[in-house]
């Protein structure tokens, strides 16, 4: 159940290919955000950017950003900042975005339909190459230029297209079975939108996105805020915040 980093003796790599250092998980999760900010800055015509500026664009602390970037080597110039183009290239390499990765999506329901056409995927280097569904009524349907196939074809197509990443957008009840099929087909990374826990072999990475959970967390904060305002001394932090229109 735990996660053990420690690759296979990567540390002593004096050689050519970096052979990843142990990047903290928290850093990895922020790299895509930095990348997005860098692309924005680059399109704005900036050649270099300071850690302060990039941190602001990414919504993080500048010290944190510098430490994150230092983990993947020093690509900044003191007194100047970071070379935008170089940093983009570097982060994209670390994230493995320099090679297009084929993605398949299982479950063409309400959410899956939207994901299939989501611009954000294609614009960031991910291409959905196949759609699957268990419902025979949906098989054959055309969605954003792709034909929905029956899930039984998953194994064959996954090999043909070298699919490494699978997205599950099925109901919770079907998710585990789909995950098993994805694993059997050689998929080693799964993005799960179904509200359930998936059980997979240790070499398969799973990330879960549960939209309802996000709302529930917000609900808690709403509840807390409502409770605090009803109490004495419930001063909220962050002096910058001014309250408006909440009274009634």
Instruction: Give residues 70-129 in contact with a copy of itself (rule: CB under 8 A).
Output: 94-97, 99, 101, 103, 110-111, 113-115, 117-121, 123-124, 126
67 binds, among a copy of itself, DNA, none (CB under 5 to 8 A by kind): DNA
Q: CA-CA distance, 248 to 82, in Å (whole number)?
A: 49
Q: Which of residues 7-26 bind DNA (CB under 7 A)?
A: 24-26
CB-wise, 35 or 84, nearer to a copy of itself? 35
Identify which of 210, 234, 237 has the alpha carbon closest to the alpha carbon of residue 224.
Answer: 234
Neighbouring CB atoms inside 10 A of 171's CB total 13
Q: CA-CA distance, 83 to 89, in Å (whole number)?
A: 10
77 binds, among DNA, a copy of itself, none (CB under 5 to 8 A by kind): DNA
The interface mask with DNA, positions 28-67, x = CB under 7 A, is ---------------------xxxx-------xxxxx-xx
Q: Which of residues 22-81 bind a copy of itself (CB under 8 A)?
A: 25, 28-29, 31-33, 35-37, 57-59, 61
Q: Which of 20, 80, 144, 218 binds DNA (CB under 7 A)?
A: 80
**Whether the Cβ atoms of residue 102 and residue 162 lie closer than 8 Å to each other:** yes
Residue with tokens 């970071």: 82
Q: CA-CA distance, 26 to 82, in Å (whole number)?
A: 21
CB-wise, 77 or 199, nearer to a copy of itself? 199
Q: How many residues does the chain have?
A: 248
Residue with tokens 């070298």: 162
Q: CA-CA distance, 61 to 30, in Å (whole number)?
A: 12
Give the start-end residues of each E strand in 81-125.
81-83, 101-106
Q: Is 82 in the site for DNA (CB under 7 A)?
A: yes
Q: Is 11 in the site for a copy of itself (CB under 8 A)?
A: no
CB-wise, 136 or 230, nearer to a copy of itself? 230
CB-wise, 19 or 23, nearer to DNA? 23
- Of 46-54, 81-89, 132-140, 211-219: span binding a copy of itself (CB under 8 A): 211-219
Q: CA-CA distance, 165 to 186, in Å (whole number)?
A: 9
Q: CA-CA distance, 142 to 149, in Å (whole number)?
A: 10
Beta bridge partners of 126: 101
Q: Is 69 in the site for DNA (CB under 7 A)?
A: yes
User: What residue ranges bind DNA (CB under 7 A)?
Assistant: 1-2, 5, 24-27, 49-52, 60-64, 66-67, 69-70, 74-82
């Amino acid at each position: 159940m735990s996660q053990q980093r420690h690759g296979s003796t990567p540390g002593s790599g004096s050689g050519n290919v970096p052979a990843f250092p142990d990047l903290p998980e928290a850093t990895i999760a922020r790299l895509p955000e930095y990348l997005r900010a860098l692309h924005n800055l680059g399109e704005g015509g900036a050649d270099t950017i300071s850690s302060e500026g990039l941190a602001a664009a990414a919504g993080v602390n500048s010290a944190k950003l510098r430490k994150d970037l230092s983990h993947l080597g020093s690509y900044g110039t003191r007194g100047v900042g970071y070379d935008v183009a170089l940093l983009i290239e570097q982060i994209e390499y670390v994230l493995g975005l320099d090679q297009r990765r084929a993605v398949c999506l299982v479950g063409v329901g309400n959410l899956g339909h939207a994901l299939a056409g989501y611009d954000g995927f294609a614009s960031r280097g991910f291409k959905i190459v196949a759609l699957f569904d268990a419902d025979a009524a949906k098989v054959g349907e055309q969605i954003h230029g792709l034909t929905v196939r029956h899930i039984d074809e998953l194994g064959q197509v996954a090999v043909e297209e070298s699919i490494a990443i699978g997205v599950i957008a099925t109901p919770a009840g079907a998710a585990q079975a789909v995950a098993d099929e994805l694993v059997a087909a050689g998929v080693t990374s799964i993005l799960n939108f179904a509200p359930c826990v998936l059980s997979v072999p240790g070499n398969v990475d799973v990330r879960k996105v549960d939209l309802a959970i996000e709302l529930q967390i917000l609900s808690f904060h709403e509840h807390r805020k409502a409770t605090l305002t009803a109490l004495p001394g419930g001063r909220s932090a962050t002096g910058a915040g001014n309250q408006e229109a909440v009274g009634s």
